[in-house]
Amino acid sequence: MDKTTITLHTAFQIGTVDPRIFGGFLEHMGRTVYEGVFDPKSVHADEDGFRRDVLESLRQLQMTAVRYPGGNFASGYHWLDGVGPREKRPTVRELAWQSIEPNHFGTDEYIKLCRKMEWTPMLTVNLGTGSPEEARNWVEYCNCKGGTKYADKRIANRNETPYNVNLWCLGNEMDGFWQLGHVPADQYAVRAQQAAKMMKDTDGSIELVVCGSCAVGMSTYMEWDRQVLEYLGDYADYISLHRYVGNRNNDTADYLAVINSIDRQIEQMDAVCRFVQAKRRSHKRAYLCFDEWNVWYKNMQIDGGGKFAPHLIEEIYNLEDALVVAGFLNSFIRHADVVRIANIAQIVNVIAPVLTKGDELLVQSIFYPFEMFSRRRNGISLRASIDGPSYESKSVGPVRFVDASAIIDEDCLHVFTINRSSDETADIQVDLADRPIDSLISAEVLSGPDAKAANSFEKPDVIKSRSFADVKTISGQASYELPPLSIVAATFKVK
C-alpha cells in the first residue's frame, strides 16, 4: 500500500478533549448490575457486594461519566423502589426487558460505586411512565441538603452528604415506539420541559441532556431533534444521540467504513443544534451527548422470560469490532468541539468489554482500544490532514484505509491510527508541521490473526494489546508500519 501521511499543526486545533467522552453505561438489563458489578454472593464480592474482579478490570479503562439506570429500563423505573432498607424494597416485573427486578441495587448503591470507581454520576429520569415531579424529587433526594422531604429520606438512609449529581438525562430514546411511554416529539418536548424546569428549580447547577434521535434510520431523524431543541430552548444543555453498528453482511471492508458515517451522524446532529441556536437568536447552543454507542448485532436476545438477571445480549467481540470501537473514539476526538459526553454501552456482560461466567472474568477485544485511547485522552484535538490510499465501500463510498486522530498535550503528541486493510500493511508518517517530533514515549498495538479472531474463556489472550516499539523518529517526523487490521496508539515527545 502507498504511504499514508498524517500532517498536523498545533495552530489547527479542534478543541479540548472532554474526558467525559470516555464514559460508560450501567443499565438494569440482563447481568450488567446483578452478576456484573454487584454480586454479594460472589467469591469476589467486597464489603459492599461489588465484584472486585470486575471493578479492577474496569478501573483500567478510567471511565468518567457512567450513565444509570437505563436505557429502556429507565422508562419504567420508579427510583423510590430502589432506596431504603433492602428488605423492604419491592420486587417488580420489569417490562423493558421482561425481567424480574428486586431493587437490591438502587441510587445509594450506584453512588457508592461511583465514589469507589471515581466515576461521574449521570442519571436518566423516567419520562416514559414517570412524572416530571418524580424526576424533580430525585434531584432533591440526590443533591439537596437536609430539611425537606426527599433530602431527609437520603439522610435517613444514612447518606448525609449530598450526591451532587450534575448530569441528568431527560428520558431515554423517547422517539422509539418500543419505549415505555413513547410519544411524538411535541408531546415529549412538553413533558421534558416541565421536568427540566422543576429539576433546575430544585438545583440550578445541574446539566440536562434531552432525548435526541436514537438512530439515523428513524423516520423522524433530525425533525424530532429540531422540534425538541426549539421547544426546550435554553434548558437543553446537551442532546443525546445513540448508535449501534454491526457487520450484518459479513463484509469487513464495508463494516469498517461505518466509522465515516459516525462522523456524518455527529455533523448532522451538530447542524441541528446550530440551526436551532441561529433560529432562536440565542447565545446558548446545545452540545452532543453520545450516550449510547457500540457494536451490537450478533446477539439479539432481549426477552428476559420473566427471570432475574437473564443472559441478554452478551455479545462476543472480535478484532474487527475492536477496530470499529477505535473508530468511534477517533470520531469523538475529531469532533472534540461538539461531542462533550459519550458512553460506551454497556460496561459488563451486556454488549460489554468484560464478561463474567461464575467466578471467571473475560476481557474482550473491545476493551483494548478503549484502554489505549483513554490513557492518552488529555489535551487538545488537532485537525489531521490524512493523505493516503483509499478504497470504495458499498455503504459510504470512498474511505481511506487509515483512519486517525491526534491530541496535543503540551510536549506530548498522541496519535491514534487504524488500518482497515485486511491484507496490506500501512506505512504511516506523522508530521507535526510546526514542532519536530523528538522521540517515542510509548505505543501499543492491537492486531490479530484475522478479522473474526476473538477471546474466549478457554483462550483469553488471542486479542490483546502489546507494547509497540517499532517506531522511527527521524528528522522530526515519526514513521511506523501498521499491520493489516490493527490499531496503534502512540505518544511522542515533541520539541
Asked if 75 touches ligand AHR (CB under 6 A), the answer is no
Closer Cβ to ligand AHR, 62 or 301, answer by number: 301
Asked if 124 touches ligand AHR (CB under 6 A), the answer is no
For residue 490, the surrounding DSSP H or E stretch is strand 486-494
User: Using CA atoms, how far apart are residues 482 and 165, in angstroms rounded to an integer?
Assistant: 42
Asked if 173 touches ligand AHR (CB under 6 A), the answer is yes
Q: What is the dihedral of CA 421, 426, 431, 437, to 10 degrees?
A: 120
What number of chain residues touch ligand AHR (CB under 6 A)? 10
β 287-295/307-308 pair status: unpaired
Smallest distance, ligand AHR to C-beta of residue 32, A: 9
Closer Cβ to ligand AHR, 139 or 180, answer by number: 180
Smallest distance, ligand AHR to C-beta of residue 143, A: 25
User: Which listed range, 67-75, 127-135, 204-212, 327-335, lies at the site for ligand AHR (CB under 6 A)?
Assistant: 67-75
CB distance 344 to 370 below 8 Å? yes
What is the per-residue burial (b if ≥16 Cβ within 10 Å, else e) of 343-370? bbbbbbbbbbbbbbeeeebbbbbbbbbb
Asked if 71 touches ligand AHR (CB under 6 A), the answer is yes
β 23-25/65-68 pair status: parallel
Smallest distance, ligand AHR to C-beta of residue 304, A: 12
Cβ neighbours of 267 (radius 10 Å): 12
Closer Cβ to ligand AHR, 72 or 137, answer by number: 72
Asked if 310 touches ligand AHR (CB under 6 A), the answer is no
Which of 39, 225, 237, 292 forms a contact with ligand AHR (CB under 6 A)? 292
Which residues are catalytically annotated? 173, 292
User: Which listed range, 69-77, 138-146, 269-277, 453-461, lies at the site for ligand AHR (CB under 6 A)?
Assistant: 69-77
Closer Cβ to ligand AHR, 96 or 257, answer by number: 96
User: Which listed range, 65-73, 133-141, 393-401, 461-469, lies at the site for ligand AHR (CB under 6 A)?
Assistant: 65-73
User: Which listed range, 55-63, 68-76, 150-158, 365-373, lies at the site for ligand AHR (CB under 6 A)?
Assistant: 68-76
Smallest distance, ligand AHR to C-beta of residue 71, A: 3
Closer Cβ to ligand AHR, 70 or 310, answer by number: 70
Identify the burial level of 7 via C-beta atoms within 10 angstroms of its C-beta, where 0-12 means exposed, 13-18 middle and 19 or more buried. Answer: middle
DSSP string, 431-454: EETTS-EEEEEEEEEE--SSTT-B
Smallest distance, ligand AHR to C-beta of residue 60, A: 22
Q: What are phi and psi of 391, to 5 degrees?
A: -135, 160
Closer Cβ to ligand AHR, 15 or 176, answer by number: 176
β 65-68/120-124 pair status: parallel
Contacts to ligand AHR from residues 324-363, by CB under 6 A: 345-346
For residue 493, what is its C-alpha cell? 515527545
Which of 4, 172, 331, 421 forms a contact with ligand AHR (CB under 6 A)? 172
Contacts to ligand AHR from residues 11-40, by CB under 6 A: 27, 29
Q: What are phi and psi of 415, to 5 degrees?
A: -125, 130
User: Using CA atoms, how far apart are residues 135 and 107, in angstroms rounded to an integer?
Assistant: 13
Smallest distance, ligand AHR to C-beta of residue 100, A: 17
CB distance 375 to 412 below 8 Å? no
Q: 404: helix, coil or strand?
A: strand
Which of 70, 82, 379, 448 forms a contact with ligand AHR (CB under 6 A)? 70
- What stretches of 177-230 adopt beta strand conformation (E)? 207-210
Closer Cβ to ligand AHR, 39 or 94, answer by number: 94
> DSSP class of residue 348?
B
User: Using CA atoms, how far apart are residues 413 and 379, in angstroms rounded to an integer?
Assistant: 9
User: Which listed range, 70-78, 106-114, 258-266, 382-390, lies at the site for ligand AHR (CB under 6 A)?
Assistant: 70-78
Closer Cβ to ligand AHR, 54 or 276, answer by number: 54
User: Using CA atoms, how far apart are residues 286 and 193, in angstroms rounded to an integer?
Assistant: 15
Binding site for ligand AHR (CB under 6 A): 27, 29, 70-72, 172-173, 292, 345-346
